[in-house]
Amino acid sequence: MKLDQGQVLVVDDNEMNRDLLSKRLRRQGLAVVVAENGRQALSEMQSQPFDLVLLDIMMPELNGYEVLEQLKADPLLRHIPVIMISALDDIDSVVRCIELGAEDYLFKPFNPTLLKARIGACLEKKRLRDQEQAYLKQLQEEQEKSERLLLNILPKPIADQLKQQQRTIADNFAEVTVMFADIVNFTELSSRLSPTELVSVLNTIFSAFDRLAEQHGLEKIKTIGDAYLVVGGLPIPRPDHVEAIAEMALDMQAAIAALDFAELSLNKPLTMRIGINTGPVGAGVIGTTKFTYDLWGDTVNTASRMESLGLPGQIQVTAETYERLKDRYQFQGRGAIDVKGKGEMVTYLLIGRK
């Protein structure tokens, strides 16, 4: 740091010493603030930033040792370099100041050339430290940004495993609840809207669903076009995953009903089909580039069938899900439907809470 780039605090109870130091420093282009005693010095340091402190030892109230000790004990001030300037020329004083954290020690009367060199060295160290702290702060901000982006893709426990360089991340879960949601007549909708309008509509809807998933402690897996996939009970198992999914499904219906379709450039309200199933799944990270955390297994396929074979505006669930919810929620039996690859299955429509 050049000598014309820095603010220095001069602390000395002797007015003549203060004036002498201040004039020399100002001639070198430094900004100077003076303090007549230790308490005033600490107050000045807490109210404005300094790049260097020139500190006398022998002062009333708080002496230089005490000021230095308090300064170095304060996490917000301890980085400020301190040069002790004192008439005490014994080695014990020098050692004590260095042990307390002083950068340097000069004896009175000081040599102006030596003082200038010592000040320049301290200011340069301060500049390098400030630069390092700025780089570290920027690095931390970038790491936090990367962390947020990673958590937008993966659940936190899975992201932690990935950061530990686990090559294969896959688990089996004995029981979870899987939900698919899909916008009815999406193909017709997409043909009437511009790409920008369509993305705006989907973003509005799925952002509301994202908030609901976070609110209910559920894991959003992905969106596929107009389809939304969310699961309860992984990657951290929880006993109430079925109820949590049911609550989110009902809240999703309410969120869709509350949309201002005219504001979204739609000529009529939207409706959704929702399908839910409960059972075992496999889950893990798929791919090495543009990777994703995904689910697989019959439970997932069946949940998808519950959605695709469902009724507009309704929440269709399998018998497995119904059995776990029937005591706390209202259902309407739909009877048996033909499900590809499964044959006839008895399904139910979740109507609401009891």
Q: Can 129 be counted among the known catalytic residues? A: no
DSSP-based helix, strand, coil % in the chain, nearest 5 = 45, 25, 30
305 is catalytic: yes
Tokens of 318: 């399998």
Cα–Cα distance measured from residue 93 to residue 114, given in angstroms and rounded to the nearest whole number: 19
Enumerate residues 6+ apart whose C-beta is below 8 A from 344: 336, 337, 338
Contact assessment for residue 217 and residue 238, using Cβ atoms and an 8 Å cutoff: yes
89 φ, ψ (degrees, to nearest 5):
-110, 25
Q: Is 69 exposed, middle or buried (0-12, 13-18, 19+ CB in 10 A)?
A: middle
The rounded distance, in Å, linking the Cα atoms of 299 and 331 is: 21
Residue 179, strand partner residues? 230, 276
**Residue that has been written with the tokens 């979740």 in this structure:** 350
Contact by Cβ (8 Å): 265, 197? yes
CB 86 within 8 A of CB 57: yes
User: Pick the catalytic residue: 78, 340, 342, 353?
Assistant: 340
Asked if 226 and 209 count as a contact pair (C-beta separation under 8 A), the reply is no
Q: Is the C-alpha dihedral spanning 172, 340, 226, 265 positive or negative?
A: negative
Taking residue 76's Cβ as centre, other Cβ atoms within 10 Å add up to 8
Q: Which residue out of 305, 326, 342, 353 is catalytically annotated? A: 305
In whole angstroms, what is the distance from residue 221 CA to residue 207 CA? 14
CA distances from 76 to 5, 42, 79, 267 (A): 21, 12, 7, 59
Residue 140: φ, ψ to 5°: -65, -40
Residues linked to residue 172 through DSSP beta bridges, in sequence order: 282
Catalytic residues: 305, 340
